[in-house]
A and B are shown apart, each in its own frame.
Chain A
Amino acid sequence: MIPLAFLMPGQRGRIVTLDVGRGKARRLMEMGLLPGEFVEVISNSVGPVVIRVRGMMLAIGRNVASRIWVEVT
């Protein structure tokens, strides 16, 4: 299990937990970023991490992305 922020562009993973506090976790889940969901990293360098989840692109700030734990698939 590693933080989402550690994934390289093109890598895919499966969300395990959202360790980001309640309000933020709810917002992420409502946007479709649920534990069990598959994500693909599109870009990840200095700014926000951009991922694809449920067919949409989502930009997530680095702090939050470091506390979303995924299983690399």
Chain B
Amino acid sequence: MVREILVAIAGSPNVGKSTLFNRITGGDVHVANWPGVTLTRTEGYIEHHNVKIKVVDLPGTYSFSAQDIGELIAREFLVKEKPDVLVVVVDATSLEKSLYLAVMAMELYDRVVVAVNMIDAASKRGLHIDFQGLKSRLGVPVVPISALKGIGVGVLLDRILEVAEGKTIRRESLKIDYDGLEPYIYEIARHLRIKGALKDYPPRWAAIRLLEGDDKIFEELKKVDQDLADYVRSVRERAEIELGEDPEKIAIGSRYMFIDDLVKSCVARVRLATPSLSERLDKVMLHPIFGPIAATFVILATFFLIFAVNTGFPLNIILEHLGYGELAGLVEEYSLSGVLGLMFDWLSTTVGGWMNSLGYNGWLTSLITEGLIGSLGTLISFVPLLLMAYIFLGAMQDSGLFPRAAVAYDNLFRRFGLSGRAFFPAALGMGCSVAAVVSTRGIDDDRERMVTAMTSPLIPCQARLLVLLTIASAAFANPLHQSILTVSIYILSFILYLLTSKLLNKYLFKVEHAPDLLMELPPYHRPSLRVIWWYARSNTEHFLRRAGLLILGLGIATWYLLNFGPSGFLSNGNIAGSYAAMLGRLLVPITGLIGLPDWRYALAFEVGFVAKEGLLITFSSIAGVPDPIEALKSIGITPVKAISLALAMNYYVPCLATVAALFTELRIGKYVIITILMELGLALITASLVYWSALFLGFI
């Protein structure tokens, strides 16, 4: 008989919940070394001893006060869905901090298993933990694990099943001594019991939360029993006067006192930690001048590496200067993307020839070789680049550098009405704008959250990087110039990110002072290959799935538009008479403003509304060659056109998926429309500036 049980993973931020989730379920949710990575709930399944376990990864929270989106999600889940077993993850290297949420969870819930994670790091630091002692003091199973190394996960699953089956019996939920608050807790709990109010919560827990001034639960009470709510308020006020102190301070203090006591009796430091690499690194990273420089340098260096592997740059330049011109050409041609491009060219020609020999030489051959294989090749040839970029991004995210970068940039960002926290959406935006928009949930300040959601799509995502690199390679022969164009667009995008944030702060939200940063800085650690792989794999898979859909959808659509016209199938290659040309011409008056008065570019922009890869698919389809670089060349791209195209492409509108994410996060249609108009405006301004100044200076 297969049963199904529901298990939730909760805990403070950054203790390794998502790592554990991935370990248990074989998933690849985002793991990174800063607090507040997970901001949605993710579900997964595993079967253990014939029991089907549904596992839910929750956002990390400092408490259940429902003060931010993460806390709200975690709390709603625990209270409303009541998992069969709650796994509370704590960090072995900082029990004195991460036990706080565990204690709160154990007060609320009786079916708990505590997973003491990162025991690998703890033993390296000379910490000895008495797990048996923890277990008897807390009254719940305590399992030492290392989610990263896969230690103890099997035992944890065993304990989970035992608790689910009621084998490990616990007498009652954890009781903390709240000192002076106790009489008031008793009083409120008694009334709650008598009146049967707030049945979702244990009365004692609800009473403590009410005394602590938990607005959320107070609102709930007000809805069901206004009189009782008034009474609770009066008890709270009385407590404050009689005790001469804020009840919430007493409550929080009592929990920490309990924790200090627990840690003192159960944790021993068997040897002193030596001044670590962490501290020496932080001497640089937290320096007022070197910090921002180092952060910028690391980001640029990452880029450089990605370029190097994918385009052969700068190896090809060096070789050329040394007089090995031929070798340089080979390096470029046989860089990863080069090889894949060649492969698809070959596939397309072979299949075409083969179909022709079978007698299919009409539109079907054209659809398959150009519409499908061509587009597929276009997108697949970028996979190595993407994989590489995600590997580097993943490594940086797991290292602990990002939170330092946030501190380093805080001072600069303040001038634009943002805190250093705004670095995160921007950095994640280099991977995917949807991820960037969702990550703004981790920002406490409402206005900062909205502003960064609206502006972070300006940062070029991986899809746009592909289009950028293609444009650059098509228009400039010199790899140095290609890189300059690409890097400048990135720098410009970061500048625009800050500038538009300032404008939105000033004119839309009418608040200009920056919110204060408040963030834990986790220790650095060597990026784990496993964590990097999770990130690279899930993102690349996502890209491929998307690519598949795009090719089927956009590939066939553009092929149809290009090969059919009012007069039917255009077998003679007379695309000027196609539907595509007609559609493109509609937008030519606008693309003319930015120096691209050509229906082919206009059509590409139209297709690109769905996703920016659509531009490449369009160019390939128009030219009838799978390699989009060759396709752009044959369309007659020039350096000036390339710059204008690159700018307009990057900004003119967020992709459909991003627009959808904006709707979910902002919830105000007006703000989404403003975002789109702002991007459109930026595209027109930047691209036409390039075109008109080139015209004025006599370059064209």
B94 interface residue per 8 A CB criterion: yes
Known: A43-B282, A59-B518, A61-B410. A26 touches B288 (CB 8 A): no
B180 to chain A minimum Cβ distance, whole angstroms, is: 15
Stretch from B62-70, B336-344, B490-498 that touches the partner? B62-70
How long is the Cα–Cα vector from A45 to B411 in the complex, in angstroms? 10
B404 to chain A, nearest CB (A): 9
Beyond A26-B248, A48-B420, A62-B516, whether A43 also contacts B286 by CB under 8 A is yes
In the bound assembly, the distance between CA atoms of A22 and B252 in angstroms comes to 13
Q: Are A22 and B213 in contact (CB under 8 A)?
A: yes
Give the residue name and chain of the A residue nearest to B419 (CB): A61
Q: Fill in one digit per residue for B404-427: 1 if any A CB lies within 8 Å of its CB, else 0.
A: 001110110000000110000000
The answer on a CB contact under 8 Å between A50 and B96 is: no
Sample of 27 A–B contacts (CB below 8 Å): A24-B518, A26-B67, A26-B213, A26-B252, A27-B62, A29-B248, A29-B253, A30-B62, A30-B252, A31-B97, A31-B518, A31-B520, A35-B249, A47-B291, A47-B408, A50-B282, A55-B96, A56-B94, A57-B282, A57-B523, A58-B518, A59-B406, A59-B517, A59-B518, A60-B517, A60-B518, A61-B419
- CB atoms of B94 and A55 under 8 A apart: yes
Q: What B residues does A28 contact at CB under 8 A?
A: 518
Complex formed: what's the CA distance from A48 to B419 in Å? 10
Contacts of A48 in B (CB 8 A): 407, 410, 420, 516-517
Do A59 and B252 contact each other (CB < 8 Å), given the known contacts A32-B100, A43-B286, A54-B94? Answer: no
Inter-chain CA distance A22–B62, complex, in Å, is: 16
- The distance from the CB of B274 to the nearest CB of chain A, in whole angstroms, is 16
Q: Is B303 an interface residue (CB 8 A)?
A: no
Interface residue? B560 (CB, 8 A): no
Contact A58 B62 (CB under 8 A): no
Residues of B within 8 A of A59 (CB): 403, 406-407, 410, 420, 517-521
User: In the bound complex, how far is the Cα of B523 from the Cα of A14, in angstroms?
Assistant: 23
Complex contacts, A11 vs chain B, CB 8 Å? none
What count of chain A residues pass the 8 Å CB interface test?
31
CA distance A41 to B18 in the complex (A): 31
Would you give the shortest CB distance from B178 to chain A, in whole angstroms? Answer: 15
Q: A64 — nearest CB in chain B belongs to which residue?
A: B516
Taking the closest CB of chain A, its distance from the CB of B216, in whole angstroms, is 13
CB distance from A4 to the nearest CB of B (A): 13
The answer to whether B671 has its CB under 8 Å from any CB of chain A is: no
Is B256's beta carbon under 8 Å from chain A?
yes
Residues from chain B with Cβ under 8 Å of A46 in the complex = 288, 411
Asked if B518 and A47 sit within 8 Å, CB to CB, the answer is no
Known: A26-B248, A57-B282, A57-B521. 7 other contacts (CB 8 A): A26-B252, A30-B63, A34-B253, A46-B288, A46-B411, A54-B97, A58-B519
- Give the CA-CA distance A46 to B517 in the complex, in Å: 13
Is B288 a contact of A29 with CB atoms below 8 Å? no
Asked if A2 is at the interface (CB within 8 A of a chain B CB), the reply is: no
**Structural contact, B516 and A42, CB atoms closer than 8 A:** no
CA distance A23 to B282 in the complex (A): 30
- The answer to whether A50 touches B249 (Cβ under 8 A) is no
CA–CA, A29 and B212, complex, Å = 12
Cα(A45)–Cα(B420), bound, Å: 15
B516 touching A54, Cβ below 8 Å: no
A58–chain B nearest beta-carbon distance, Å: 6
Chain A 15-40, CB within 8 Å of chain B: the 1/0 string?
Answer: 00000001110111111101110000
Task: Report the Cα distance A50→B517, complex, angstroms.
Answer: 11
- Residues from chain B with a CB closer than 8 A to the CB of A27 are 62, 67, 444, 518
CA distance A13 to B664 in the complex (A): 44
Q: Which residue of B lies closest to A67 (CB)?
A: B516
Look across to chain B and name the residue whose beta carbon is closest to the beta carbon of A26: B248
Q: Which of A42, A45, A63 contacts B282 (CB 8 A)?
A: A42
* Inter-chain contact A29/B521, CB cutoff 8 Å: no
Q: Which residues of A contact B249 (CB under 8 A)?
A: 29, 34-35
A50, B63: Cβ atoms closer than 8 Å: no
CA distance A32 to B519 in the complex (A): 12
Residues of A within 8 A of B67 (CB): 23, 26-27
Q: Which chain B residue shows the least CB distance to A28?
A: B518
A56 touches B410 (CB 8 A): no
Interface flags for B502-537 (1: CB within 8 Å of A; 0: not) read 000000000000011111111100000000000000
Q: How far is the CB of B423 from chain A (nearest CB, A)?
A: 12
Q: Are A30 and B286 in contact (CB under 8 A)?
A: no
CB-nearest residue of chain A to B514? A61
Residue of A nearest to B256 (CB): A34
Interface membership of chain B positions 149-177, coded 1 if the CB is closer than 8 angstroms to chain A and 0 otherwise: 00000000000000000000000000000
On chain B, the residues within 8 Å of A32 by CB distance are 96-97, 100, 256
Q: What CA separation (Å) do A58 and B94 show in the bound complex? A: 13
- Closest Cβ of chain B to A55, distance in Å, is 5
| Chain A residues, Cβ within 8 Å of B65 | 26, 30
A31 to B94, CA, bound (A): 12
B388-444 interface with A by 8 A CB criterion? 403, 406-408, 410-411, 419-420, 444
Interface centre among B252, B288, B516 (most CB of A within 10 A): B516
Contact between chains at B288 and A47 (CB < 8 Å): yes
Closest CB-CB distance, B213 to chain A, in whole Å? Answer: 7
CB-based contact A50/B521 at 8 Å: yes
Chain B residues lying within 8 Å of A30, measured Cβ to Cβ, are: 62-63, 65, 100, 252
Question: How far does the alpha carbon of A73 sit from the alpha carbon of B411 in the complex, in Å?
Answer: 29
Give B316 Cβ to nearest chain A Cβ, in Å: 41
